[in-house]
Structure 1
Amino acid sequence: MSTLQLSLAAIGALTVGAVVVYNAWTSRKHAPRQADPRREILREPVSHAIEPVLDIDPAANGQTDQPQEPVLRDTFTHLSQPDRKAQLDALIDALAAIEVDLPVSGDAALAALPSTRRVGTKLFSVEGFVQDTGQWEVLTPGRRYSAFQAGVQLVNRVGALNNIEFSEFVVKTQAFADAVGGSVNFSDMIEEVTRARELDQFASVHDAQLSFTLCARFAAWSPGYIHQHAAQLGFVPGSIPGRMVLPAAVQGLPPVLSLSFDTHAAMAEDPNQSAIRSFALSLDVPQTSREEQPYARLRDAALTLSAQMDGVVTDGAGQVLSEATLDQIGADLQQLYDALDARELSAGSSQARRLFS
């Protein structure tokens, strides 16, 4: 073989080698970033995290669930039990008083309840009055009650109580009263439906579910990579694949924040090969007390994760969110909190959690 042929062969080999190396480098560069195996990744869901549906269209009155904007900081290690007392409230429920001649056992009252605790799309509840304590409470076996009250929720994110639902409430309450030997006094249907519509109007204007979208600048992320970075900020796996939550300080309450990405990527046969280019951080504003500083933690989480994961924080339309925009969102939320407080529906209260559900 001549010198020229040897030279051409060598050049060809070098070219092929260079192409192979370049392709390998390109493939490695664009492969999903993987979690550091030296760090522990939380994988098991936690039972104390309640996951609400997140959204951010105040004008939609909860008819649709669509995320808006997020961040986080502190985590909580002490978890206490939520309040288990009765929750019926004339502010957000239509109530019916049930009188009985003789005390009724909790077991008998429970047996008299309808098979479903819903009236249309609204929550139906019955509570008993304990004469010894002078308190209303959720019906409990072994107790004796000297009176009852039934209630149907006026409004939720599906809409306001209507005439048909109120009529169903009357039927179910009367059946319960007959079963426990009581007499029932109902409020006026027209008044309650009118009150429900007014409350629904308020709720539709003051509902907010924020969601920030974090987008990868260059290399995509694997599910494990997202889990690992989010876990460092206190997020734990949620009840469905592709979802993580930041638990509230009180066990049983909705999480402060949620993180979600493509469920199919999380359930892939080999998740390490799933390429995720964005995920959402979300805050359901009325569900979380302002004392938890949820927006500050949402903003902090978004900025921290974007910096650590080489991403950018955007809104749902893909527009990058500036510091000034984030400040304005925070200021607007403070006004919303004040409006909820003034209506005695403070964010995170049991009434607000029921109303905005």
Structure 2
Amino acid sequence: MSSLQMSLAAIGALTVGAVVVYNHWTSRKNEPRQADPLREPVGSDMEPVLDPEINMDPTAGQDPVLDDGFASLPLPERKTALDALIDVIALVEVDQAVSGDAALAALPLTRRVGSKLFTVEGLSQETGLWDSLAPSRRYTAFQAGVQLANRMGALNNIEFSEFVVKTQAFADAVGGTPSFSDMLEEVARARELDQFASVHDAQLSFTLCASSAAWSPGYIQQHAGRLGFVPGVMPGRMVLPAAEQGMPPVLALTFDSHAALADDPALSAIRSFTLSLDVPQTAREDEPFTRLREAARLLAEAMDGVVTDGEGQMLNADALDQIGSDLQQLYDALDARELSAGTPQARRLFS
């Protein structure tokens, strides 16, 4: 072999080697970032749900609520779930006390009237307070209620009529006599409340987009876990739990559920995820927007990402300040209507 041929062969070998190295480097560069194996994995605590079909305290929002702690003792005195501010309430009078077992047996199979929650409470013979029905207790009166409005819309004539039918059936079963308010007045009240809720509802979301390399599900979960997020019920969902048991999560983080369910999630490349806040569900005093803003900033810095709105526009400090100012006005309007964010009434109305 001549020296020229040997030189060409050497150059060819170097070229092939360079191509292999470049392809390997490119492949590694484009791989989704992985969680640090030296860090503790995110806990597997699930996101418990308060089901209004089971729990007679109908305060849960559309999203599931998360419990990350233990109830403090002694327990606070329970207040009635029904509220004339957001419910149609019918009094059911009885001639003699009715056992809790009989009252529970008289409840309809479904606790819904159309898309609205149907609730029955009893006046406890022992305490003289309205409370959810429980066995081994006795009640001297009952009240049935249906929610005037929620995010599905206002109570309509058909739903009001269904409420009357269900309440009458319950009253007949316990030997009681119900008293109903005027349908047209209640439906008009429902429409007005629904209009107020539509104007003052707010669900904020920020999108975090990868600036360079994509992220794996584990990488997102590890960084979010450092800020206090825990796995939610649905794949691709994490939540920042409230400090108080039974309250809705303060923030939610969601990414592609298909990536979370992949056979090998480590190979799934995610280029964006969403941080969201359901404003009426969390009290103003908990500063949920400040926490949303700070979580987005910290995650963007740690994960080499940028914070944008739903249309991909980057959010700068001025834009975020304006959003915060607008939220304060929204909180004031809810307070003035006695539907302050985070209260049971607000959580039911905006659900």
Aligned equivalents of 1:19, 1:33: Cα separation in 2: 23
With normalisation by structure 2, the TM-score equals: 0.93
Q: Report what 2:56 is aligned to.
A: none
1:148 aligns with 2:139: no
The one-letter code sitting in structure 2 at the alignment partner of 1:260 is T
CA contact (8 A) 2:90 2:178 kept: yes
- What does 1:31-50 align with in structure 2 at a 5 Å threshold? 31-48=31-48
CA contact (8 A) 2:107 2:170 kept: yes
- What does 1:1-357 align with in structure 2 at a 5 Å threshold? 1-48=1-48, 53=62, 79-80=70-71, 85-357=79-351
CA contact (8 A) 1:49 1:238 kept: no
Aligned equivalents of 2:184, 2:323: Cα separation in 1: 39
Q: Taking structure 1 as reference, are residues 113 and 77 closer, same or farther at Cα in structure 2, changes over 3 Å only?
A: closer
The one-letter code sitting in structure 2 at the alignment partner of 1:23 is N
The one-letter code sitting in structure 2 at the alignment partner of 1:352 is A
Aligned equivalents of 1:148, 1:214: Cα separation in 2: 50
Q: Taking structure 1 as reference, are residues 170 and 77 closer, same or farther at Cα in structure 2, changes over 3 Å only?
A: closer
Q: Taking structure 1 as reference, are residues 289 and 49 closer, same or farther at Cα in structure 2, changes over 3 Å only?
A: farther
Aligned equivalents of 2:100, 2:126: Cα separation in 1: 14
Q: Which moved more, 1:38-47 or 1:310-319?
A: 38-47
Root-mean-square deviation (CA, aligned residues, Å) is 1.6
Q: Which moved more, 1:233-242 or 1:81-90?
A: 81-90
Aligned equivalents of 1:187, 1:266: Cα separation in 2: 50
The one-letter code sitting in structure 2 at the alignment partner of 1:339 is A
CA contact (8 A) 1:49 1:247 kept: no
Q: What secondary structure sits across from 1:125 in the alignment?
A: strand
Q: Report what 1:57 is aligned to.
A: none
1:75-117 deviations in Å (ceiling 9; x for gaps): x975436975431000000010010010001110000000000
Aligned equivalents of 1:77, 1:88: Cα separation in 2: 26
Q: What secondary structure sits across from 2:120 in the alignment?
A: strand
Q: Report what 1:65 is aligned to.
A: none
User: How far 1:133 sits from its partner (Å)?
Assistant: 2.0
CA contact (8 A) 1:49 1:255 kept: no
Structure 2: runs of 5 or more not aligned = 51-59
Aligned equivalents of 2:246, 2:346: Cα separation in 1: 15
Aligned equivalents of 2:86, 2:95: Cα separation in 1: 29
1:231-283 deviations in Å (ceiling 9; x for gaps): 00000000011000001111221100000000000000000000000000000
Q: Taking structure 1 as reference, are residues 196 and 77 closer, same or farther at Cα in structure 2, changes over 3 Å only?
A: closer
1:196-240 deviations in Å (ceiling 9; x for gaps): 000000000000000000000000000000000000000000001
Aligned-residue identity in percent: 73
With normalisation by structure 1, the TM-score equals: 0.91
Q: Taking structure 1 as reference, are residues 235 and 161 closer, same or farther at Cα in structure 2, changes over 3 Å only?
A: same
Q: What secondary structure sits across from 2:338 in the alignment?
A: coil
Paired residues, number = 336
Aligned equivalents of 2:68, 2:143: Cα separation in 1: 38
User: How far 1:153 sits from its partner (Å)?
Assistant: 0.3
